[in-house]
Amino acid sequence: MAILLTIRQKSPPTTAKAMLKTEILAPVGSPEVIYPAVRMGANAVYLGADIFSARGNAGNFNREQLLEAVKYCHARNVAVHLACNTLIHDNEMESALKLIKYACEIGIDAVIIQDIGLASLVRKAAPDMVLHASTQMSVHTAEAAKMLYDMGFERVVLARELSKSEIKEIADKLRNMNCPIELEVFVHGALCMSVSGQCYMSAMLGGRSGNRGLCAQPCRLPFDAGGNGHDLSLKDLSLISNLRELHEIGVTSFKIEGRMKRPEYVAAAVSACRQSLDKGFADKEVLEKLRAVFSRSGFTDGYYTARLGPDMFGTRSKDDVTSATNKLLTQLRTGYKDEMPLVPVSFALEVKKGRPVRLTVRDHDGNFAEAEGDIPETAITTPLSSERCESCLHKTGGTPFYTDKIEYIIDNGLTLSAKALNAVRREALQALLAIREKVMPTDFEMPNVPKPSTHNTKSMGFRAKFRSGNIPDDFLDCELVYVPMFLADSEICSLMDRGFAVAAEIPRAMFGREAEIEKRLKELQTIGVYEVLASNIGAVALAKKLGMDIHGGFGLNLANTASLEWAEAMGMLDAEVSFELTLTQIARLGGNIPRGIISYGRLPLMLTRNCPVKNDGKGCKNCKTPPLIRDRKGKEFPIICDKRSCEILNCVPLVLSDRQDEIKNIDFEVLCFNVENSVESSEKLKDYVEKNAPKAEFTRGLYYRGLS
């Protein structure tokens, strides 16, 4: 008679099994970092290839390493997200698409994208590939997330500057709109002073663009606005204690920043997040290890709690560096040096007279493998027992599996050596691992890539952007003047009565103001303003919803022909192209939509939510107009503040007045006046009309020198 037994084993510790259906998303900057990320409990990892990654200076992955990463992670129930999150130039678009084609071939689970043109092409090429909107898209409103969902994105990585109440408002609005787009939030790691995707400081000052993956981090250098002398350097973010709260709000993925950091940092951060999510809190000891391995004067939750000010600022001190002792790093490495039991499996063992022993192993995903071993012998003294079999089958160490269930069919009076049982177990598990590593490709058909071409322009006109309604009559010949949307109705009506063609500028920073901005747009329509300048996807979405005429602004980062075609498809009348392009690159952009460039003004180097001047602890009291911030060389950068957000402007203006004949295939130029008075602005316009050379210190921006 055969013995039939079924034995179940409890799940291993919560490092292998999350209590909530959520995702801890770990940074993997190089192949060796996969092990701490996966083994310490991440549900997904994000990584970059050796091109088009926003962390171009990380180790990153070549094609072979990408494949191995996918196989390793998928075998262990961990998803892989590829960060292809830089702006793409026309001559690079085909290479970017080939990278994503390869990602589809090897079974990458999702692609994180910044460039709107690339996204539109990928959506056509691979309808089933999951797209995530990078935080570089500067998304911080529900309408922006909904618009991206309608374009085919399944997840949006929200801007890091949002507060708890603002994240909740976005999640609630999306539910009310029946929009199931997933929300991803950064919960630990470095904070940029600027809203991601809206920082041009590294590009303008050093020729290395954050939008192209090569940020030189100039914000970590000394900048003085009256605070501690590092008034653009924020502490690292940490919301590890708030994971369950974020989950209840509606956040799906908890993202850890750090593709440039060491493996031990990733181990500490993932471990703390795993513990917080599973237990509801992280132990003090775990959090202290995380602080010791990397911090900038500790951590901050200032954006999340809406407590902006000096407590958010910090630098990397000597104590911060020395706290990462060899002892601590060794402890952290010990935690992930061996395989972790991450995947539950069940065994079915058959030991029958005259037949090879057969072992079947199954996982919870429907995969199974079988192995056959020795033929059992007749027992002379002690027959094979279920206890002996169980002892052997529970030995899954060195593999990512743990035993969840065992079923036995054992004929009476037989025996089998432990060596034979162990061998058949190893063979079965190895076969199952190979099955789980199999690549599941996504279909990809190369789309028609827009080719660089000559855009047909009739003539080039001027537009001007002002911060007030004090606009001289000299600008009456401009085809448009942009004014702040919250300018008083009386001032706007006065401008229109004087003959100006007026368009209202929607703020690039819309944090917590979506309803207020929508209400104001409706008010503007009632006084006859139907045209808007929209420099954020959320602004485009709102204006489109209200049926307004949209002029695309520089903050959309339109850097290639495909992105201009997207703008046209969105119904925009025209668009400003990225000022990180050279004039030569701009001249070669194709597409039909009219396009323009910013050709005068102090270019915005940063869009910030936390004002640098607040680092002095006095808030807005006694703030000069405009406030200034100085670099270590004494250069002064004006700060334009509306009490909700700030723009840090370049120390000198961009001037192309004497280079008009070199601007090709452009429909309009935008002159931006932020610090000039009415007399100065009129003089600048005259310089452009007469093509005069600049008389004071100036820059040509990146229009000639380009990016490194």
pLDDT in tens, 437-474: 999 999 999 999 988 777 878 789 999 999 999 999 99
236-238 and 299-300 as β-strands: parallel, antiparallel, unpaired?
parallel
Would the pLDDT of 93 be above 50?
A: yes
Is the N-terminal amide bond of 604 cis, ω within 30° of 0?
Answer: no
Task: Locate 62 and state its tokens.
Answer: 């070549």
Q: How high is the pLDDT of residue 140? A: 98
pLDDT digits (tens, 9 = 90+) for 135-182: 999 999 999 999 999 999 999 999 999 999 999 999 999 999 999 999
Confidence of residue 20 (pLDDT cuts 50, 70, 90): very low
Confidence of residue 60 (pLDDT cuts 50, 70, 90): confident
pLDDT digits (tens, 9 = 90+) for 675-693: 999 999 999 999 999 999 9
Q: What is the pTM of this model?
A: 0.94
182-189 and 236-238 as β-strands: parallel, antiparallel, unpaired?
antiparallel
What mean pLDDT is reported for the chain? 93
Q: Which region holds residue 54: left if phi is over 0, alpha if psi is between -120 and 50, else beta?
A: alpha
pLDDT digits (tens, 9 = 90+) for 247-256: 999 999 999 9
* Residues 232-243, mean pLDDT to the nearest whole number: 96
- Under DSSP, the state recorded for 238 is E
pLDDT digits (tens, 9 = 90+) for 342-377: 999 999 999 999 999 999 999 999 999 999 999 999
Q: Are 237 and 189 in contact (CB under 8 A)?
A: yes
Confidence of residue 3 (pLDDT cuts 50, 70, 90): very low
Would the pLDDT of 7 be above 60?
A: no
* Residues 98-106, mean pLDDT to the nearest whole number: 97
Would the pLDDT of 10 be above 60?
A: no
Kindly state the percentage of the chain with pLDDT values over 90.
88
Contacts of 513 by beta carbon, 8 Å cutoff, 6+ apart: 507, 644
DSSP H helices, 34-106, are 34-39, 63-75, 93-105
Would the pLDDT of 14 be above 90?
A: no
Q: Are 545 and 517 in contact (CB under 8 A)?
A: no
d(CA 283, CA 516): 41
* Residues 196-209, mean pLDDT to the nearest whole number: 96
Distance of CA 105 to the CA centre of its chain: 23
Q: How high is the pLDDT of residue 16? A: 36
pLDDT digits (tens, 9 = 90+) for 272-306: 999 999 999 999 999 999 999 999 989 999 999 99
pLDDT digits (tens, 9 = 90+) for 38-54: 999 999 999 999 999 88
Q: Are 582 and 702 in contact (CB under 8 A)?
A: yes
d(CA 608, CA 647): 6
Q: Is 46 helix (H, G, I), strand (E, B) or coil?
A: strand
Summarize the chain as % helix, strand, coil (round to 5). Answer: 35, 20, 45
Task: Locate 376 and state its tokens.
Answer: 């059992």
**C-beta atoms surrounding 618 within 10 Å:** 14
> Whose structure tokens read 């932020």?
674
pLDDT digits (tens, 9 = 90+) for 624-656: 778 999 999 999 999 999 889 999 999 999 999
Q: How high is the pLDDT of residue 622? A: 63
d(CA 636, CA 631): 7
